[in-house]
Amino acid sequence: MLDILVGGFYGDEGKGKIASYMALRDNPSLSVRTGSINAGHTIVFNGKKYGLRILPSAFINEKTALAIAPGALIRRDVLFRELEETGARARLVIDPHAGVITDEDVGEETNSAHLRGTVGSTLQGVGSAESKRILRTSKLAQGYPELSEFMADVPDKIIGALEEGSTVHVEATQGHFLSLFHGSYPYVTSRNTTSSGALSEAGIGPGYVDNVIVIFKSFITRVGAGPLGGELPAEEAKRCGIVEYGTVTGRQRRAAPFDSKVARSVVRINSANQVAITKLDVKFPEARKVREYSKLPVDAKRWIEQIEAEIGVPITLIGTGEEAMDIIDLRDKASG
């Protein structure tokens, strides 16, 4: 079985939480990370918080092998720091075709007034490295001796695991509306962040996919410039308790209420057959750390059911707290 996890809005939806929970619950043999270091995933497990930028969030399951896709971009200092923090070095493989961000790439973005000012880029060198890849002048992982121990054909590993009957998870990056093709250009990232983009980066075709799970938050946030429908003034966002800060940038996130019409369009484009909702406890504090649907407050259940009807696919995973296991899992009910 192959599941793809996709961010539904502008990133920061809680993909790390959902991916880490699913890794513990589903015990996948392999988890594949797409994207690059401009996307931060936060995982809280057994009271410890991890902020990852390149390793798959599934690292918390010590039985799961980890892979970085051929379409991904890594930065070596970030990679080795995360391997040290997580102890996952022996479980990681990197496709030889994965790109490498250099100091030159970081410098070029830092010196770009357009990226720094107009677009609101994270200035991590991702766009520079990606553009060089298109021009066929970029650096690849296979060219670095310090990465040689990790080299493996990642598409072959994915397909091999599926042929053996194992479960594989593919973690997409950022959010649907930061897609280079589907977002509010030019206030977007440097890649396609939809399910089709994740498949392309992983290097496999759509026929292998069993589930596309789009992850939304109970409200919308965005870091940086660009339009945000229904945006709340900063003071009102504080009163609503939805002030957040980016994992990578540290910048305060702009906020808006959940929008079912927008969410439905995302579900359709990504061909999602399931949806996860995180931070229900922010919208309904009484739902905090609840792990059974029947124990949710009535107004929270009513909201979930209304959203589910409006977006047209089942909400199968509901996050109710920071810990990876603070989840209501309805996937068995949905499939039954």
By annotation, the residues acting in catalysis are 12, 41
Written as six digits, the tokens of 298 are 């009535």
CA nearest to 126, candidates 173, 165, 159, 161:
173
Helix (H, G, I), strand (E, B) or coil at 254: strand
Beta bridge partners of 255: 221
List Cβ neighbours of 155 (8 Å cut-off, separation of 6 or more).
70, 95, 202, 203, 204
Distance, in Å, from the CA atom of 287 to the CA atom of 76, rounded to the nearest integer, reads: 40
Check if the beta carbon of residue 45 is closer than 8 Å to that of residue 52. no
CA nearest to 19, candidates 209, 278, 232, 205:
278
Measured from the Cβ of residue 156, the count of other Cβ atoms closer than 10 Å reads: 12
* Measured CA distances, 211 to 100, 170, 274 (Å): 30, 10, 7
Helix (H, G, I), strand (E, B) or coil at 137: coil
